[in-house]
Structure 1
Amino acid sequence: MTQHGRQVPDHLLIRIAQRNDPVSAVSEDDARRRSLAYPKLMWGAPVFGHAEEVAGRWRILGLSGDQPQGSRDALGSHFRQLRKETPETAGHAAERREYREAIRLLDWEVVDDLTVHGRRYRIIRAQPFIRMGPDGPEPPRPTDPDPYPPGSTRGAPYQEEGFVIDPTATTGLSDGLLRIEMVPAFYQAGLVPDDVRADSRRALATHPNVVLLPVGFTIGEYVHGSWQPRSFTTYPTPQAARDSAAFRFGDIVPHEDASLEEIRAAYTRALEEFEAPRTDEFEIRGVRCRVTRVERFVRVGPDGPEGPRPSDWDPEPPPELHCQQLREQGLLPDPD
């Protein structure tokens, strides 16, 4: 784990370099101050995505699912789009056939690693965490990019899309120290089931390094004397999180037996009445809320990023298999 160790395998490297430009200096100072003000790291539930290997490095195509199957479905959609974009000519027939076979495979089977048209694809696992201090979760830092004005964040790009998972890339001092801190980290006894903890410890050997991903943002709320996530969705900028603040389903449904028309009307009213806050601290219906900074890392090994673990929550079967199961149970009609 040294910037000078030429004999160290790539997947074990953490390269730390001092950056002398003004922006890096301010960012490092922000990170140092926040590590003191928010010293406790709290892990959240893992998130999953899909990535492709390009020139020996893995590039993230998407990262948003709370279960692996959602990311497998997203990878299937990626192949559908690639097949759609591939010309229907004799010269591209083999490529189109490979995409079709990959789509069918993902529709019917649980697959986390496959090669299609000479390129490897993988379902990947990322670990989110937030920093906590005496006053609650860490808010955005002054140096976190926040380029969009209120109400104009729809469609804002997610920084992790296209991000290359490269353990050899040079990092600043604060991020390098954080990576070193995360390398030996695993779930502690009593906080998670035994199989989850065992998988967590096993990952230290199979994927012994970590790479930090671009940060995201969500909304935390103070309820019954403690902070909790208002939503498990992570947004690309602080303002995108603020813009999302009013649209939790339970807040807008008028009553438990509301009809679809009533729900639509309530949602329309919520859109019309909501004015996105411009600050990181605000109230929604009397509940204290805070824009919260979410950091994430991916564990990496000699063969690339870590995939789903056996103990990860993964209740949904592949879509075509699920439909078949529902038909066998009489819960879905046979296709015409």
Structure 2
Amino acid sequence: MIEDAEHVPAYRTIRMSPPDAPVAALADLEAWQARNPYPDLRGADGPAFGIARESEEGGWRLEPHCGNSDPQDARDSMAGLFRRRAHEAEQAGDEERRQAFLAAADRLDWEEIDELTVAGTRYRVVRCERFIRTGPDGPEPPRTTDPDPSPAGLSYQEPDPADGFVLDPISVTGLSEGILKLELLGLVHPVGPIEQGIKEDAVRAVQTHPGGVLLPPVFMVAERTAFGWQPSLPALATSPQDARDSISFGLRVVDPVRRRLDPAQRAEYARAAQWLDDNRANDLDVAGRHLRVVRVERLIRIGPDGPEGPRSSDRSLQPPFKVHDQQLRAAGSIPEDEDENAPIVLGPDAEEMHQLMIKEQERRAAVAAKEQRRKKKQPPKRGGRK
């Protein structure tokens, strides 16, 4: 059945227009060209979950950190958000608002709740699907038009471009982005019999949340193995350099302990990390391993009532915080008379990794100081002719 275009809901509309700005036009062209070497779209390591709040003027806006791999982690984050809002209300002398946010946070400590209205505003745990393009060469690396502003070692200073992002399904997109959105909205992953519930949920979501919004891309690290490309680091990075910094951190801090490297191997890994810092490459070969920074597309589905929340098949690995604490105490994993002020005793591996982390923090602090000195020496930019 073909719907009358005049009666199609706004959230099902995809508005496309050629970009006016040169940078946007180049990004749109590069997105179209990526379809040739990387023609296949695949899911990327499962969905992610974040928090969105409904705006007074309509629509929804993302709160920071839309990258939890478990719905319960997002619920715990929402509880933390409410406690920060309660503190802000206390600072403003608004006791009623403070009590409302504290009560909501306490509920989330005990109950699995994906949506709450607090102080007149709706908050919701939202589901974000993640995809990568792949081809004969493997997964797609970052594009030249992907923002990548930070020097090596300083990507932690970057804001997440998705923080505060407005989920507006009818905003105008470039032609390539609009076509990508159309592809992703109709994509249902083939799954086996064991994951039948996941398949049913995916098919249902196409009907219940047929619209969608593309978020700014994120980046992950993958390693080529005998079984194909596998995620190497679980965290997603907000920029290509953020992903490179996570590789460097792994080579300098994690791998020497986890892989039990000898001094010669540690030196090889350290040289590889320095080469990556100096060259800002997206592919790295070290000790027979091949690592790549991979570009990840993100889509939040939209329905009549706003962004999609967790599906029934998105099961959490653990219950809410207070419930989990009770379970651990009942099982004897946490002694009832535990001294919260007792010093934490690290095992040999954890202690060695802690010392390597201190060295890495000192190294990055020196890089940051050097960058500040460089900026101070730069002459001020001259204005153009009037």
- What is the TM-score normalised by the length of structure 1? 0.89
SS in 2 for 1:253: helix
1:70-107 residue CA offsets vs partner (Å, 9 max, x unmatched): 11111111111111121367x61210110110110010
1:7–1:255 CA distance, 2 compared to 1 (3 A): closer
Q: 5 Å matches for 1:222-261?
A: 222-224=224-226, 226-248=228-250, 251-253=255-257
Partner residue, 1:262: none
SS in 1 for 2:53: strand
Output the amino acid matched with 1:190: G
Partner residue, 2:115: 113
For 1:300 and 1:28, how far apart are their aligned partners in 2?
A: 23
Q: 2:184 aligns with which of 174, 182, 185?
A: 182
Partner residue, 2:86: 83
SS in 2 for 1:212: strand
Cα offset, 1:286, TM superposition:
2.6
The answer (yes or no) to whether the contact 1:246–1:284 under 8 Å persists in 2 is no
Deviates more, 1:183-192 or 1:233-242: 183-192
Output the amino acid matched with 1:82: R
For 1:48 and 1:128, how far apart are their aligned partners in 2?
A: 11
Structure 2 residue ranges without an equivalent (≥5): 339-386
Partner residue, 1:330: 332
1:13–1:253 CA distance, 2 compared to 1 (3 A): same
SS in 2 for 1:230: strand
SS in 1 for 2:229: strand
1:184-221 residue CA offsets vs partner (Å, 9 max, x unmatched): 21121428610110111111111111211110111111
For 2:307 and 2:181, how far apart are their aligned partners in 1?
A: 15
Partner residue, 1:264: none
Partner residue, 2:315: 313
Q: 5 Å matches for 1:128-139?
A: 128-139=130-141
1:254–1:15 CA distance, 2 compared to 1 (3 A): closer
1:322–1:146 CA distance, 2 compared to 1 (3 A): same
Cα offset, 1:273, TM superposition:
8.7
Structure with more of its chain in helix, by fraction? 2
SS in 1 for 2:206: helix
How many residues align structurally?
A: 324
SS in 1 for 2:144: coil
Output the amino acid matched with 2:22: P
1:302-332 residue CA offsets vs partner (Å, 9 max, x unmatched): 0011111111131111101111122222332
Q: 1:141 aligns with which of 134, 137, 143?
A: 143
For 1:151 and 1:189, how far apart are their aligned partners in 2?
A: 40
Q: Which has the larger radius of gyration?
A: 2
For 1:241 and 1:192, how far apart are their aligned partners in 2?
A: 33
Deviates more, 1:318-327 or 1:218-227: 218-227
Q: 5 Å matches for 1:1-336?
A: 5-44=5-44, 45-54=46-55, 55-61=57-63, 62-87=65-90, 92-190=94-192, 193-224=195-226, 226-248=228-250, 251-253=255-257, 274-275=273-274, 276=277, 277-334=279-336
SS in 1 for 2:315: coil
Output the amino acid matched with 1:252: P
1:94–1:302 CA distance, 2 compared to 1 (3 A): same
1:243-288 residue CA offsets vs partner (Å, 9 max, x unmatched): 11033476231678x9xxxxxxxx9xx8899423511111233311
The answer (yes or no) to whether the contact 1:187–1:201 under 8 Å persists in 2 is no
1:152-206 residue CA offsets vs partner (Å, 9 max, x unmatched): 1113111111111110111110011111112221121428610110111111111
Cα offset, 1:232, TM superposition:
2.5
Structure 1 residue ranges without an equivalent (≥5): 259-266
Identity %: 40
Aligned residues: CA RMSD: 2.6
For 1:285 and 1:57, how far apart are their aligned partners in 2?
A: 50
1:33-85 residue CA offsets vs partner (Å, 9 max, x unmatched): 10111001110211111111112211111211110011111111111111112
Output the amino acid matched with 1:21: A
SS in 2 for 1:317: coil
For 1:191 and 1:30, how far apart are their aligned partners in 2?
A: 38
SS in 1 for 2:35: helix
The answer (yes or no) to whether the contact 1:209–1:300 under 8 Å persists in 2 is yes
1:139–1:191 CA distance, 2 compared to 1 (3 A): farther
1:322–1:176 CA distance, 2 compared to 1 (3 A): same
SS in 2 for 1:114: strand
SS in 2 for 1:331: coil
The answer (yes or no) to whether the contact 2:39–2:134 under 8 Å persists in 1 is yes
